[in-house]
Amino acid sequence: MTWETVIGLEVHVQLATQSKLFSGSSTAFGAEPNTQANIYDLALPGTLPVMNEEVLRMAVAFGLAVDAEIGKRSVFDRKNYFYPDLPKGYQISQLDHPTVGKGSLRIQLENGDEKVIGITRAHIEEDAGKSLHEDFQGMSGIDLNRAGTPLLEIVSEPELRSAKEAVAYLKKLHSIILYLGISDGNMSQGSMRCDANVSVRKKGDTELGTRTEIKNVNSFRFVEKAINHEVQRQIDLIEDGGRVIQETRLYDSDKDETRSMRSKEVANDYRYFPEPDLLPIVIDDTYIEAVRATMPELPDARCARFVEQYGLSQYDAGVLTSSRAMADYFEQVAELCGDAKLSSNWVSVDLLGLLNKQDLDITQSPIKPTQLGTLIARIKDNTISGKIAKTVFEALADGEGEVDQIIEARGLKQVTDTGAIEKLVDDVLAGNPDQVAQFKSGKEAVFGYFVGQAMKISKGKANPAQLNELLRKKLSE
């Protein structure tokens, strides 16, 4: 039987404010437990919420980035449930009147096609605290540093059809929030985490199957693995005569499996009601346009500009604009050396290869854009060959100094003296009479042998263009 997968994602993005959503406590990550929780976060009687306006600005900016309807009147609600790390016994969230309404996100599939995924809503809410189980034998500790940090929960329509589509959607979302600067997007620290609603149905059916929710997955790789496991689990269950139960499940990355956590709650279980201590948020077009005016060029627009302005392929432009930091890096390199195509090759091949090998992102690159730009400039002004440039690149990565300093210290300057290269060619041809005879008898492939020998003798420093020209000339005499 052929099955179709249906996936909808709920993504929690921690907004990059200095203080919490309704209190002045710091949101900095990594502090000692309970050192960033004031009387409001502790839910002491009589304390009242005061909203952080910066959260609203960030939410509206996100809404504009995904062409969403902006709620000009949004309302906070109380979502009631009991967790030890939720002192008030309720979470302040938004239900029927969110700040961001329907929007859409364009993703690129593996085959190069594009697909538009609907965004149902993005609502503002506060985070809960954290339960600690290690170091508390038979008990749990509670850390309220995270309680009250501002979240934007972004809910997609169930329009994703595979784990890879889900990852493409998440990566695009991640890119947009980083471009906007509304979150650090650090998934390992929980700044962006995902709940995946997964179901399967027979191919051709229009009715949705019973879904399960995989809770709090915090890496692209784990999202893909968790969904793939859950899809196969549901298919196996149905084909064996069982039925899928609507529930919340956890993903165990060590065992690569999902397991039941609790039965799935629905909205009625939370007894939502309007938050009586907060007035509705009312904004107008002037406010929305003021936020729009502060927004940077976003990834799709920047990708299109790279194709138009620099003549890059769609693929290369997509790689280089996958993050704002990457795009900024590329543009600095291209501006410095004056060659966008060469800059694109060095950044997307050599630099990304180095970063992947060392498990670093572009912001942690050991080679600065000014250094890479200077390196490419030295290829273009014939100071070094492209081959020698690889050696300088490795030296830069090892922190040996600046480009010109490395070239000078290692004696890597390219040989461009015509007389010196001519003597080199004469020596190679004189030392290889059999190969010369083969070439003259029509064996063209031997030409590469002469080039290789000459470059070997010159230790890679002979100018390749001059060398090729003189070799052709001498062999034709």
Q: How far is CA 380 from CA 343, 375, 410, in A?
A: 11, 9, 19
Q: Phi/psi of residue 169, each to 5°?
A: -65, -45
Which H, E and C letters describe 71-137, residue by residue?
CCEECCEEEECCCCCCCCCEEEECCCCCCECCEEEEEECCCCCEEEEEEEEEEEEECCCEEECCCCC
pTM for the model: 0.84
Q: What is the pLDDT of residue 373?
A: 97
Whether 474 shows a pLDDT value over 90: the answer reads no
Q: What is the pLDDT of residue 451?
A: 87
Token representation of residue 348 = 């997307």
Q: Please classify residue 241 by burial: count the beta carbons closer than 10 Å to its beta carbon, then call 0-12 exposed, 13-18 middle and 19+ buried.
A: exposed
Contacts of 449 (CB under 8 A, 6+ apart): 432, 435
Q: What is the pLDDT of residue 264?
A: 64
Contacts of 293 (CB under 8 A, 6+ apart): none
Q: What is the pLDDT of residue 469?
A: 86
Residue 29: which of 208, 266, 167, 189 has the closest Cα? 189
Run of H or E including 470: helix 464-475
pLDDT in tens, 51-69: 999 999 999 999 999 999 9
**Overall size of the chain counted in residues:** 477
Burial 167-186 (b: 16+ CB within 10 A, else e): bbbbebbbbbbbbbebbbbe
Contacts of 477 (CB under 8 A, 6+ apart): none
Query: What residue spans of 256-347 are helical by DSSP H?
Result: 285-293, 299-310, 314-320, 324-337, 340-345
pLDDT in tens, 349-379: 999 999 999 999 899 999 999 999 999 999 9
Whether 193 shows a pLDDT value over 80: the answer reads yes
Per the CB < 8 A criterion, the answer to whether 83 and 270 are in contact is: no
Q: Give the confidence band of 110 by pLDDT, cuts at 50, 70, 90.
A: confident
Q: Give the confidence band of 5 by pLDDT, cuts at 50, 70, 90.
A: very high
Q: What is the pLDDT of residue 413?
A: 85
* Helix 403-410 with 386-397: angle, nearest 10 deg: 110
Q: Give the confidence band of 266 by pLDDT, cuts at 50, 70, 90.
A: low
Mean pLDDT of the chain: 92
Q: What is the pLDDT of residue 261?
A: 81
Give CA angle at 294 (292, 296), nearest 5°: 95
CA distance linking residue 12 with residue 122, whole number of Å: 9
Token representation of residue 176 = 């947009």
pLDDT in tens, 435-459: 888 888 888 888 888 888 888 888 8
Q: Please classify residue 416 by burial: count the beta carbons closer than 10 Å to its beta carbon, then call 0-12 exposed, 13-18 middle and 19+ buried.
A: middle
Q: Where in the chain is the domain with CATH 1.10.10.410?
A: 418-476
Query: What residue spans of 338-460 are helical by DSSP H?
Result: 340-345, 352-357, 369-380, 386-397, 403-410, 418-431, 433-440, 446-457
Token representation of residue 22 = 């309704």
pLDDT in tens, 400-427: 999 999 999 988 888 777 888 888 888 8
Per the CB < 8 A criterion, the answer to whether 274 and 76 are in contact is: yes
CA distance linking residue 208 with residue 174, whole number of Å: 28
CA distance linking residue 417 with residue 420, whole number of Å: 5
Percent of the chain with pLDDT over 90: 71
CA distance linking residue 156 with residue 380, whole number of Å: 48
Residue 456 has a CB neighbour count (10 Å cut-off) of 11
DSSP assignment letter at 26: B
Contacts of 431 (CB under 8 A, 6+ apart): 453
Whether 1 shows a pLDDT value over 80: the answer reads no
Residue 205 has a CB neighbour count (10 Å cut-off) of 12
- Which of 158-162, 174-178, 339-343, 464-468 is the least confident region? 464-468
CA distance linking residue 48 with residue 37, whole number of Å: 14
Percent of the chain with pLDDT over 70: 99
The CATH label, of 3.30.300.30, 1.10.10.410, 3.30.420.40, 1.10.260.40, for the domain at 418-476 is 1.10.10.410
Per the CB < 8 A criterion, the answer to whether 224 and 251 are in contact is: no
